[in-house]
Amino acid sequence: MAEPEPARPHLGIERIYLRDLSFESPEAPGVFGSGRQPQVEIDLGTRANRLEDTRFEVVLTLTVEARDGERTLLIVELQQAGIFRIAGMDEATRRRALAVACPNVLFPYARETIDQLTVKGNFPPFMLAPVNFEALYMDAQKRRESEQIGTEQGETEQGQEGRGQAEQGEQGEDVPARD
């Protein structure tokens, strides 16, 4: 009897949707026509939740805040989400897909929504620059590795008691999809 072939890696999009959206212009109409270039801050985050064995929800969160000195011109908060099927991948490859490939799929939808919303709020179009999710993932990996090395060095200094506590803290963490 022949051995079954291993499952081929597969990443499929099941659904893309807007999970949450907020637009504020707290000082309108007094902010229109200032003519000055505002300072813009962008905060970006992602999270992944396992729904079933091969189904994951990935949420891309963006917050855009435009200020003119102390005055807040606008705040946009958005959660763009998608449900993805991921199969035939080892854990490391799945983590990378959830942190890089899935947000890359979601980002154009989020960018378009933010652009349209700012225009509807009577502000100039706001086109977000592309995001390199691969670079963000690699930076996060490096931070985790350096933190882990620091933790291991601290354990050596603490002796056996410290090591036992660290091992206990690592057991039972069932969060393979979060990045």
Domains and CATH numbers, the chain: 10-130 (3.10.420.10)
**Whole-structure pTM value:** 0.77
pLDDT, tens only, 45-62: 999 999 999 999 999 999
The answer to whether the CB of 94 falls within 8 A of the CB of 86 is yes
Q: Residue 172 — pLDDT band, cuts 50, 70, 90?
A: very low
Q: Write down the mean pLDDT value for the chain.
A: 83
Q: Where are the alpha helices (DSSP H) in 82-132?
A: 91-96, 102-120
Which amino acid would we find at residue 136? L
Q: In what order do the strands lie in the sheet with 55-68?
A: 10-24, 71-87, 55-68, 39-50
The answer to whether the CB of 153 falls within 8 A of the CB of 166 is no
